[in-house]
Amino acid sequence: MISSVLDKPGGEWRIIAISMAAMWTLYVTTLLVRMALWDNLGWHLVSAYAPRLVSGILLNIVLLVVLRSLSDRHSLPRRALIAAATCLVISLGQATFAAHVDFSNAEKRVEKITTVEGMVIKRKGAEVTVYRGSDDPLTFTFPGSGTGGIANLRTVAEYATVWVFFYAAWSAIYLAGMSAGQVARAQQRLAEAEAAAQSAQVRALRYQINPHFLFNTLNSLSSLVMREDNERAEDMLMALSTFFRTSLSLDPSAAVPLSEEIALQRLYLDIEEVRFPKRLKINIDVPEDVANVTVPALILQPIIENAIKYGVSATKQPVTLSITAHRLDDARVQIDVFNSAPDGKLNNDPGKRPTGTGTGLNNVCQRLETHFAGEADCRFGPVEGGYRVSLAIPDTEHLDD
């Protein structure tokens, strides 16, 4: 709650104003109750306590200035130590002033008592005078009483004990509120930094299209033009243009229906089919009941690229690239990308499997984990007859229903 107030314009000053108002309202309320119960509440008492109330608020402002002067670089224990020392100093100042006001009021106040014997006893400050009819009055002074406005040290110590706890309580509230706000802001900055890093990583995938793909596509276009196969060259150029326009306009942090993701990859594969007319066979099987399942945009792009690079380009034999999807249950869907390797042979080298850094596939898994809050499963590796990547994702629309 405090952190939400601090995030608003002027939020810190709102907390300061509310905390100071609450503390001093509590003090005044306690004082009025005490005077009503024991001191026969009167306006003369209210006016007597008004100066110490004003001085206390002013000293509270001094304490605030000291605490606000401490930068965030100071640790909480150090700020607490400085606050405690400041509370002690201003409490002694407030106690001295309050005691001085009390003694000054006591010296000005005249109290008169008439006994049953007819004697009149008057007290003014520390001086007591006894009038005994026609006899001369007796005057004496209480020993140890403060005179001339000098506060008694014992009284100052008693007052200071009360005030130091008052100021310490407010300091604790202030420091706790500011520390909570700093922690909340630090957590928010960390979350924003993590989100920015994730967004940067996700957006990097947009531009992770294999440069060799572009170069090879341009070479294929050049070959088609040289052979005057203008129709196929035009189809390839249109597919390339549509693929780049669509992929670069997508927000990779957004989600798209699986059917749209498949359609984009189909454009990519159309280009690769022109490059590998005899080696690449494509099989896509995405039933209608899973076509609207949402996936992160471009999530299949690194997988398809790897399948072409390490599957089709790495062998001279026909390779079938299969993209299939099916329901695991009512709430989960599995997407498989499989590229075959006849007899496990690539580049006519028995037993050789696709190799690479794994960056693209690891990014895919990280994106899925982040997008689906850990509810997705990503697996990849060589299997019998080729290489498979399996993505098991929740059907969020189904779950919402």
- pLDDT tens by residue, 288-341: 999 999 998 888 988 988 888 888 888 888 999 999 999 998 889 999 999 987
Look-up of token digits 């000098």: 150
- Confidence class for position 392, pLDDT limits 50, 70, 90: very high
Which residue from 154, 124, 129 is spatially nearest to 140, judged by alpha carbons? 129
> Coil, strand or helix: which one is 336?
strand
DSSP 74: S
- The rounded distance, in Å, linking the Cα atoms of 302 and 66 is 58
Across the range 138-163, mean pLDDT stands at 66
Question: Letter for the amino acid at 19?
Answer: S
Comparing 29 with 134, the larger pLDDT belongs to: 29
- Confidence class for position 97, pLDDT limits 50, 70, 90: confident
- The rounded distance, in Å, linking the Cα atoms of 257 and 369 is 18
Residue 62 has pLDDT above 70, yes or no: yes
Delineate the domains of the chain, giving CATH numbers in brackets.
2-107+149-194 (no CATH), 207-400 (3.30.565.10)
* Radius of gyration from C-alpha coordinates of the chain: 42
- Confidence class for position 71, pLDDT limits 50, 70, 90: low
> Coil, strand or helix: which one is 205?
helix
From edge to edge, which strands make up the β-sheet containing 127-131? 110-114, 120-124, 127-131, 138-141
- The rounded distance, in Å, linking the Cα atoms of 255 and 376 is 14
Residue 42 has pLDDT above 70, yes or no: no
- The rounded distance, in Å, linking the Cα atoms of 324 and 12 is 56
- The rounded distance, in Å, linking the Cα atoms of 219 and 211 is 12
What is this structure's pTM?
A: 0.50
Across the range 190-216, mean pLDDT stands at 65
- The rounded distance, in Å, linking the Cα atoms of 174 and 182 is 12
Residue 205 has pLDDT above 60, yes or no: no
Across the range 382-393, mean pLDDT stands at 92
Comparing 203 with 395, the larger pLDDT belongs to: 395
Residue 201 has pLDDT above 80, yes or no: no
Question: Letter for the amino acid at 205?
Answer: L
DSSP string covering 4-55, please?
HHHTSTTHHHHHHHHHHHHHHHHHHHHHHHHHHHHS---HHHHHHHHHHHHH
pLDDT of res. 374: 83
Across the range 190-210, mean pLDDT stands at 64
Torsion, CA 334, CA 340, CA 343, CA 348, rounded to 10:
-140
pLDDT of res. 354: 42
Which residue stretches of 109-210 are H helix? 153-206
- The rounded distance, in Å, linking the Cα atoms of 57 and 235 is 82
First to last CA, the chain: 33
What element of type H or E holds 65? helix 43-69
